[in-house]
Structure 1
Amino acid sequence: MLTVFDSATIAARERLEAWREITAASLAPTAIDSPDPEAFTGRLRSMPLGNAQVTSLSYTSLVARRSSREIRKSDPECYQVGIIRAGRQGIEQNDASAMLGRGDLVIYDSSQPFEAIVSATSLAEAVHLQFPRRLLPLPTRQVAGLCATSLPGNVGIGSLLAAFLTSLADGRTQYIERDARRLETIALDLTTAVLAHHLERENPPLRSPTYTLYLRIIAFIENNLHRPELRPATIADAHRISQRYLHRLFQQHHPAGVAAHIRARRLDRARRDLADHRLDHLTIATIARRWGFGRPADFSRAFHRHTGTPPRDYRSNT
């Protein structure tokens, strides 16, 4: 990981303001105060993982508030998942609150106001995974129910995510771009698994026949992304339901519509292929066709919108 900020290199009276600036740039703008500003110390290290980012932080006592005003000024529309490594830290969001200690996991949303309080006699430490909300394949309204709650990170499936994040934070390896994107996939899959586990535990209806059908449809889409004819009509026919009912299922259980989900998954598969140098012998048009895009020009426009980079530039820079 790269050390982005270390208060030891800054005059005491300037440290808190410098911390505000670096956390705003690296995470999200917040109003930060400290009970003793000149005694404040902090350190921030960061590592990009494709569209995601892992950040290791250590800091003394502070209060961080992200209000509607900060959200209106700047919102990365991200989730942040944190594993607490030292100290006691409190958080409030969505009418929920938790006091977190060593080994606890927590998720919060940059698009909703929150308050975090750290009262420590020594340095508090945490590792954060930040990623765009659109990359999490779980309903936003259900994830909101887990925000600012304490999730165990030292037992069960939570320990897998915690161990992964802390190993990245403690490692000294400088990953190449292709490795970082593979690690992004692992981080998102582990996060999804942890959150889905807790959603299923707290919401038994997720195991209803309706949700089972939704999962079968998601699996069907994953297995048929290469077929150009894959669209809502063919999915509905394959599962003997109406298109209206298909769209209703996605409204209930998915953050995006059917067509948008298909397009995003195809683009993600194409993005991985373009980053895989074992496939350099394949043209961009071939990779586009491989994932259901019949017209290269349509693929290029969609890929540029999805990633912010034209496919040719993406391939040459990874």
Structure 2
Amino acid sequence: MEKVFDSNDFPARDALSAWAEATADAVMPTSFKLIGTDVFQGWVSTMPLGAVQVSAMAYSSYLTRRTTKLIRASDPEILAFGVTSSGPHVIEQNRNRAAVRPGDLLLFESSRPFETYADGGCILMQFPRTLFPLAPRHINQLICRPLPGDQGMGRLLTGFLTHLAEDSTSYTPHDAVRLGTVGLDLVTATLAHIMEREGDIPSDARQRVLYMRITSFIERHLGDTALTAGEIAGAHHISVRSLHRLFQQHGVTVRSWVRSQRLERCRRDLADPLKRHMPIQAIAARWGFPHPADFTRAFRALHGITPSDYRNQVHHHGTQAGTQS
């Protein structure tokens, strides 16, 4: 994420107009009016992902309008899909009025007028409407309607957007495009599931979403030492052969992916100062390594250092210990 606006960088009298200019460039042109305050406070950061863009933002209370005049002057012809991170939001568009709570998802578009009351923050993903594979007549049914972000595909999408907003990783242009594709796949799958039109999802997008569903399932069950390929496949109504083939398409085996995730969770706990007094064997068992010797051997093979030495280096020197692959 790159911060493109921070009200602290402007005199109080100029902050709102500077915000309007920044969000016009980052999202779409709209007009703003403060509610209950004379001083605007807020920030916005963006991450371009090919034709897709993710923006994270926070703001004090305001009314915003996108009028027919603004649309005629500039219309990027985008769909925007957001998750509310905090505060109350109310939006009217397409003859619908939605009161959105934190955690709710919402779809709206740039080509129709809308009015919003907002106070808090959100994460927004926007993309050209022409890229979206579902028919406009179906999408129009869901514009400006609160959608659940805490269950099923909505939870996957919320987790994806939240991770991007909090991530400090620098991605290559190729990685960014791939992330944009993943985000678009998740939006497609979420809306198709709500409309019960999963059959309209392109087959390649279905496969990518299935992979994300499965890896998310595995991450939630890493501590289960009895987790097997059969259990994973059964939970997703596919054969074990199909499961292995899916992971092979991503250049890994099921077993190696599970093992790498378990080792990474252990490494994070070893580096966490709040867990520095937790026994190493307890950390290992927590993430699916019931036998301490097996964990030590696997950790050392991956990082070139024992778990205890890694923990000592991190906490005694205040740095992430150097690792080897």
Specify the TM-score bucket, using the shorter chain as the normaliser: 0.5 to 0.7
- How far apart, CA to CA, are the structure 1 residues paired with 2:31 and 2:39? 18
Choose the corresponding residue for 2:130, options 123, 130, 134.
134
Matched, 1:190 2:186: yes
Aligned position for 1:74 = 74
Q: Is the 8 A contact 2:37 2:61 kept in 1?
A: no
Aligned position for 1:102 = 102
- How far apart, CA to CA, are the structure 1 residues paired with 2:49 and 2:3? 16
- How far apart, CA to CA, are the structure 1 residues paired with 2:71 and 2:23? 14
Query: Residue type of the partner of 1:117?
Result: Y
- Shift of residue 35, structure 1, vs aligned partner: 2.1
Choose the corresponding residue for 1:164, options 136, 160, 165.
160
- How far apart, CA to CA, are the structure 2 residues paired with 1:69 and 1:199? 32
Query: Residue type of the partner of 1:177?
Result: P
Match of 2:174, SS?
A: helix
Which structure would you say has the larger RCO, counting Cα contacts within 8 Å and 6 or more residues apart? Answer: 1
| Greater than 4 Å deviation, 4+ residue runs | none
Q: Is the 8 A contact 1:13 1:37 kept in 2?
A: no
Aligned position for 1:117 = 117
Taking the TM superposition and a 5 Å limit, the aligned residue runs for 1:126-275 are: 126-200=122-196
Aligned position for 1:289 = none
Aligned position for 1:54 = 54
Aligned position for 1:296 = none
Query: Could you list the runs of 5+ residues in structure 2 that have no partner in the other structure?
Result: 207-325
- Shift of residue 145, structure 1, vs aligned partner: 1.1
Q: CA offsets per residue over residues 264-285 of structure 1, 9 Å max, x none?
A: xxxxxxxxxxxxxxxxxxxxxx
Q: Is the 8 A contact 1:84 1:101 kept in 2?
A: yes
Q: Is the 8 A contact 1:16 1:37 kept in 2?
A: no
- How far apart, CA to CA, are the structure 2 residues paired with 1:32 and 1:142? 31
Aligned position for 1:271 = none
TM-score for both structures, normalised by structure 1: 0.62
Match of 1:192, SS?
A: helix
- Shift of residue 141, structure 1, vs aligned partner: 1.9
Q: Is the 8 A contact 1:15 1:38 kept in 2?
A: no
- How far apart, CA to CA, are the structure 2 residues paired with 1:4 and 1:36? 25
- How far apart, CA to CA, are the structure 1 residues paired with 2:193 and 2:32? 33
- How far apart, CA to CA, are the structure 1 residues paired with 2:19 and 2:93? 22
Q: CA offsets per residue over residues 190-214 of structure 1, 9 Å max, x none?
A: 00000111112xxxxx59xxxx6x7
Aligned position for 1:32 = 32
Query: Could you list the runs of 5+ residues in structure 1 that have no partner in the other structure?
Result: 201-205, 223-318
Match of 1:174, SS?
A: coil
Task: Indicate the structure (1 or 2) with the bigger Cα radius of gyration.
Answer: 2
Aligned position for 2:91 = 91
What RMSD in Å do the two structures reach over aligned CA positions?
1.9
Match of 1:175, SS?
A: coil
- How far apart, CA to CA, are the structure 2 residues paired with 1:149 and 1:219? 27
Query: Residue type of the partner of 2:171?
Result: Y
